[in-house]
Structure formats: C-alpha cells, structure tokens
Structure 1
Amino acid sequence: MNAMTISRRGLIGSLAALAGSAALPHMAFANAAAEARFPAVTGLIDAYVGTGKLPGMIAALGQGSSAAPLDIARGTLARNSDAPLDMDSLFRIYSMTKPVTGMAAMMLVDEGKMRLDQPIADFIPAFAKMQVQTTPDGSITDLRPAKTQITVRHLLTHTAGLGYSIIQKGPIRDAFIKAGLVPGQASRLPLPGLEVFKPLSSLAEFAEGLAIMPLVYEPGTTWSYSVGLDLLGRVIEIVSGQPFDVFLQERLFAPIGMASTWFRVPEAQAARLTTNYAVAGGMLLPIDPGKTSVYLDQPPYPFGGAGLVSSPRDYDRFLAMILGFGKIDGRQVMSEAAVRLGTSNLLPQGADLSRSFIKGNGFGAGGSVGLGEDAGTYGWAGAAGTVGFVNLRVGIRAGMYTQYMPSEAYPVHREFAKAVLADITPKKAAA
C-alpha cells in the first residue's frame, strides 16, 4: 500500500546536519524517563490521542544497535477496547515491508547469487521484451518496445517503469485491477477506492501477469512508486530456491529475533492486533477490526511491498540490525557491506525525480536515503500511519505506530520526523 508523503524534504529532513553534534552519540537514552527525554514526541502523541483524533499511538526510540528502545505509548488497541498499546501490539506496517524485502535482496546480491544491474529476465524470461506506454497513464494499446531491460536495481528503487493500482490512473489502473495485480489488502468490507477483484494465487502468477502489462515508463528513467518490491519477492524466490516468506523467516526474522512479524497473524495472537480506521469527515470509521481482521486469513501470496504485520518491538529490532551494520545481539545477520550498499543511493544515473515524493533525496533498497548533509538516513513509511527510520551517522533509530487511512489524512509522518529532530538536537544554554 502507499507510503505517500513520508516527508517533503527527505525521511527526516536535515537530521544529520542539525543533530550531528559530537556529543550526540553519548546521550544516555536510558538515564531518563522517555517522556522527559522526548518531550516533542510525547506532545505529538498526546495531541492525537488526547484529543480523540486517534485511539492510540506508540513511539519506539533507541540509540545505537544494542540499547533497548524507549517507548512512549498512549491509548488502546481500538476505540472500544480497554487493552493498552504497548511494544508488542500488532500493526499493519504496509509499505514498511519494502525495506525488509530490499534488505533480503541485498543479502543475495552480497552472496553473488544475483547482481544489482542484472536483468530480471535472467530469472523470469517473460520480462525480456517489455512494451512501454507512449503516453504514461494513457492508452494501453499505443505502445513501443522498451529500450532497456528491467534490472534488480530498478525493482529496488521504483525505477523499473512498472505501474501501481494506487498510483496510476485511467486504462492501465483499470487493467491492473481487472487482472488482480493488486498486491495488498485492507479490509473485508467493500470500500470506496478499494475495488473488488479476484486475487491471484501465487507470486509466480503475479509475476507472469505483470509481465504482459505495459510499462508506464522506460526502465531506469523515472522514479515512480510501483509494485517493484512485490515483483522482487518473486525474484528472491527463484534466486534463493525458497518461498519468499520462508526466506524472510529463516534469513531475517528468526536471526534478528522478530517473533511477531507475519504475513498472516496467528489466531492465537489476534488479541494483540490493533484496529485500522478510515478518517472521513472528522470521524474514525473501523475498516479492519483487530478481532476479525483480514490479516487473520492466509493472504493469496506474500506481498513484499505491503504485506507485513509487525510490532514496535520487532521492527525496532530490524532497525537496530541495520544500525549495527548487519549485526544484532552479537549475531551477523547480513554483512556490513550489504547494509552499506542497501542504505546508499542506488538510483540509476539521471533518473527523473520531478514527479516523485522523494525530491532532494536518494533511494536505496526499498527505502529513502538522505544525501549530502542528510546522509545516513534510511527508512520508509506505511499507508496506515506507521513510519520507521535510522540515521547511521548519529546512531539513532525511531519508529511511530498507529492505524489510520489514508496516511495523508494526518501529517503524522512529517510531524514525527520533526519531533524526533527537536528532541535530539542539542539545546543551547540560555544566555
């Protein structure tokens, strides 16, 4: 699902520039109460939960890769629930799945099993001769042959030219929906903007169906939010010889200690699952109650771009592993080189960002990366209000978790970034 306006000036703007003080890495997060240490983050959460805009929010913040996170939590799993939010509550993280898929791919690149600039047609021959729309989002019959092969790099960075039913308009959007090329789920309810479609049965079927659709842009030329990370899940299956979800479990989730991250929430864990709401006319409408959630069903296939449910504790461990350059709890889950490459700017040279929402930034393995003074930031956000990022230069990790759609109904992503900045920027003593 759509991460949309993760930030107007990068994931956390000029975090490294504003907070890159020599004293910053020595701040003792654990020596003070979370609310006292992070007053701006606390105020943000209170502003949303205390006024009833949202039933609950929780932030998880940590320094370095080994320190336990601090959390600031307010509210409950749902409006009609007495169960308080905590670090083990479950949230639909939607597009925060993309960095997970991206890092999984980087492991295979690091192991020499595939190359960044290798055509994906080497793994899925149906992508060898793609057609491109003459006019983006225009006719799906007025096409021309693609000049360039789609590569692994393109899938990682949304530059493959692929479409997305939540982004495209006109005939190609309709064609995606009719063909079932919608790798995500939100509710059992028939909702406006969420057309009913027959889902495909496997990643293999998804990939083959996508291969006969026209591209919206020439590969490598334009940043356009897409199903690239979902297709990458199929590439990972082929390259690794394992089902995509099994690869994630065995190579990432188990070694990191992410015991509450799934494409399907086990029935026994349903009591931890939050309710997702639609914000409409100033009201909150429950579109996916936790107790009867669509995420309690087995999905048609694992959605590598938007399919995971996770807890703040689990996703903080994923961020801690990144911040530790692949290491957590003394275990090297992935190589330092793979993390450094995945958190670097992997955009093809000259890619057009003019129509993107990452202007001024780069893009790495499934997440935005900062450039210049902002170097070191890496992360992404989700369609239901969640956001998570690290800054490798100053050694922080931060995540915010709540559940509402559409994500742009409230500026939580942007406000959280600003609040983190305000709280970690060293304050000048009064004159």
Structure 2
Amino acid sequence: MSALTETDPKAAGFDPAALARIEPWMDRLVADGRLAGLSVAVARRGRIAFARACGQADLARGTPFTLDTVARIYSMTKPLTSVAVMQLYEQGLFQLDDPIARVLPEFSEMRVAVGGNRAKLETEPARRPITVRDLLTHTAGLTYGFMEATLVDAQYREHGIDFLAREGTLANMTARLAKLPLLAQPGSAWNYSVATDVLGQYVTAVSGRPFADYLRDSVIAPLGMADTDFHVPPALMPRFCAAYAYDRERRLRPFDDSVETPFAQPPAIASGGGGLVSTAADYQRFCRMILNRGTLDGHRLLGRKSVDLMLANHLPGDLAAMGTPRFAETSYTGIGFGLGFSVMLDPARAQILGTAGEVAWGGMASTAFWIDPAEDLSVVLMTQLVPSSALPIRRELRVLTYAALAA
C-alpha cells in the first residue's frame, strides 16, 4: 500500500502556494474529460512534498483513482531492466562494448536495410556488431513495429515481433527478431526500439536465470516495490485501473479493462521493455535509489559510479542530431540518452524548465517520471491514456513543479 505521506513543502524547498497549483491542473484534466484519473507524487530531499490523486481508475465501475492505484507503466519498465543489466556488468560478466553475439549468437551476422520495397528489401552487412551499450542507448538499429514509419517496421509487424505477445517465449521472440534486418548501422542513429526487451534475454543468458525471476529478486524485491510485477495478482486486482484512448470525437473509450485484462495472468514473455505494472509509491522508491546513487533503506543495488555512468549522456550529441527531432509530445533538441534514461543536456535548447543532468522516461499510457540529482528531486505521474502523445501533460507537470522550487 502507499507510503506517500506528505510533509511540509517548505521543508523540501518548495513554495507551498506554487506547488499547490498542480492539484487544480489535475482536476481540470479530469473535469474536461481529457483523463479518467491520475496521480502525481513529488519528492525532494527525501520528503514527499506533494501526493494527490483524482478522477476514476475505472469509469464504468466508478472506482476512484488513488495513490495506491496499480497502473501499466509500459516503457517505465526499461530503467529497471537497465539496472539489472548494470548489476551483472558490475559482477564482471561482460563489458559494455562487448558484442551481444558473444552471449546471443543469433545476432552474429546482422544485416542493415538500405532500400528496396516491401516485396524485396535491400540490405548490406552490418559494419560492426551490436554491443550491450547499443542496446542500453537504443542505437542498435532495432525498432518497433508500431512505429509504422519504415520498411523494417513493416517487417516487424509481418513477422509478429511483439514482446507483449501473450504466447511464445522471450528466447524465441528474440531469435525471430535477430533474423530481420536492422534499421540503421549499429551506433549510427537513435531509434526507440525493442532493444531493452533483448536486454531481458541477455540478462537470462548471462545470469543463468529467467529474466522475470532475476528482475524480481535482484531489483524489485530489494527496492521494496511490493506492488510491481509483470502481472496483477488477485489481491491487487481491486486496485488495478482501466486504460483509455480517445475516439474520433476526442472522448475517452476503453483501451484495456481493469478486470478482463491480459495483465490478470502471468505473461508468456516477460517484457523488459514494457511489461510491468506499478504504483506511484513503488516507482518513487526506484527514483530514490537512483538519487541515493545505488542504495535504498540499507540495500545497495548498484555502485555509485555505475549510477553516475547510467545518468551520463552516451550519445555524441543530442537525440535530434542522432535522427530523432521529436518523440511523443516532446522535442529532443537538447536531450541526450544515457544507459536506460533520457538525459537533459540543455534546458534552453529543449525549451523547457529543467536541469542539465536530469534523467527521465515515460510509458505508452502517459505515465512518466523524472529524476533531478542536482535538485534532489523526483516526480512520478500515473495515468492511463494511450498513446502518450495524446496530451502534453508531461511538459505541463514539469513547468508546474519547477516553478514551485523556492530554495
């Protein structure tokens, strides 16, 4: 259950009146029918300065959205998977520039799409192997089928490359993926992709344990994230929310039910890129571990230098220079990428309030978080609207939060 107990915002260095602006912003989103419900948790200096929820977790059943609501966090799974990878790296089991084919030989002879059409794709050999760092930074040349932007995306759809599929195995899906061409030469471009799902299989191969078991035992359990898993057990189902999308009239319609949902059963494939459900309180515990440079409540999950490395920009420039000027509702000018997170490089170029060195990411259903080490700040937003580009709520919440900093 929730451990989001508020303290005096002043003690956390906030202007209480300015921080309180978040609540009417939340209320308006619900009252205007743009969101069914949402929660926001703002923590600074080890204190919860703001924690509110409003609206409905399930419109049909009249279930309120609370700070304990269990939500699909989709791609907010990726940072946890990246922590698992870095734990194994710390054990000396591989180097970040190792070719993944040393452990996953199906990736040993990759080819790269260079032209052609859907009937016949033209390819050339990859100029270098895919490395572990490439997977962590989304520069491996992989993609997602749902992007629907390239011929390689179309091949993913044609061959059923979907790590959220409810049948098959992680090993089999990874092997099928490796038979398809890359979108770009490894290391040459940033493309959001199934790379973190491949890292799940890499964790399995390196650790000798099923990825889901390793993640639960080595990351989720030590963090005390009691409501986080790849499915919702029966005891938590009353707190699980429905997901929504807009119809043509911009009205909310069901996307996934809170009861008749695939998440009620353990999945066939544990998706390291998007398979977890969680709560605002649980994810704030993950954020606090990162802010503590690897520790939480006496448990050390990573060395402090490993956390520093994860939070550094690993690209030669920003994401815009690597071929991605925008993603979701966000401009990627002035934004880099570390080992599992986006990294703020320059708030002025990004045209948003923030701090150089903060890291962030979000999920397909509009959930989001960011961690600002310089301000000792972390913010978690939980809601369930697909896709995440439907509303600019992440940017709006950033402005409301940073504008309230007073000390």
Q: Given residue 130 of structure 1, which amino acid in structure 2 is its aligned partner?
A: M
* 1:232-290 Cα deviation digits (max 9, x unpaired): 11001111111111111111111110000011111221110011011122211012111
Task: Deviation per CA, 1:62-99: give whole Å up to 9, x if none.
Answer: 013x4346311111211134432222210111111111
Equivalent in 191, 212, 231 of residue 264 of structure 1 = 231
Matched, 1:128 2:108: yes
2:135/2:196 contact within 8 Å kept: yes
Structure 1 pair 116–219 and aligned structure 2 pair: CA distance change class (3 A): same
* Rounded Cα–Cα distance in structure 1 between residues aligned with 2:67 and 2:129: 43
Aligned to 2:144: 164
Determine whether 1:342 maps to 2:316.
no
1:181 paired with 2:161, answer yes
| 1:148 maps to which of 93, 116, 128 | 128
Match of 1:232 in 2: 199
Equivalent residue in structure 1 for 2:341, among 367, 371, 376? 367
TM-score, structure 2 normalization: 0.88
Alignment-mate amino acid for residue 395 of structure 2:
R
2:367 corresponds to which residue? 386
Structure of greater relative contact order (alpha carbons < 8 Å, 6+ residues apart): 1
Residues of 2 paired with 1:136 and 1:304: CA distance? 32
Question: What residue ranges of structure 2 are gaps of 5+ in the alignment?
Answer: 1-8, 327-331, 348-354
Residue 259 and residue 140 in structure 1: after superposition, are their counterparts in 2 closer, same or farther (change >3 A)?
Answer: farther
- 1:170 Cα shift? 5.1
Q: Which runs of 5+ in 1 are unaligned?
A: 1-25, 186-198, 427-431
Contact 1:137-1:168 within 8 A present in 2 as well: no
1:202 alignment partner in structure 2: 169
1:55 to 36, 58, 78: 36
Change (3 A) 1:415 1:365: same
In the aligned structure 2, how far is the partner of 1:385 from the partner of 1:272? 18
SS in 1 for 2:371: strand
Range that drifts further, 143-152 or 262-271: 262-271
Q: Equivalents in 2 of 1:216, 1:171: separation in Å?
A: 9
Tell me the CA shift for residue 334 of structure 1: 1.7
Structure showing the higher strand proportion among its residues: 2
1:248 and 1:293, CA in 2 relative to 1: closer, same or farther beyond 3 A?
same
CA distance in 2, matches of 1:139, 1:150: 26
SS in 2 for 1:72: strand
Find the aligned partners of 1:422 and 1:87 in 2 and give their Cα distance: 23
Distance in 2, Cα, partners of 1:76 & 1:421: 27
Aligned twin of 1:193:
none
1:417 to 2:398 alignment: yes
Q: Whole-Å Cα distance in 2 between the matches of residues 85 and 221 of structure 1?
A: 43
**1:52 positional shift:** 2.7
Of 143-152 and 362-371, deviating more is: 362-371
Residue aligned with 1:58, SS? strand
Instruction: Determine what percentage of the aligned residue pairs are the same residue.
Output: 34
CA contact (8 A) 1:77 1:89 kept: yes
1:201 CA drift (Å): 1.3
Residue of structure 2 in register with 1:355 after alignment: 324
1:17-96 to structure 2, matched below 5 A, reads 27-29=10-12, 36=17, 38-64=19-45, 66-68=46-48, 70-96=50-76
User: Matches of 1:137 and 1:423 in 2, distance apart?
Assistant: 52
**Aligned match of 1:23:** none
Query: Counterpart in 1 of 2:77?
Result: 97
* Corresponding residue for residue 351 of structure 2: none
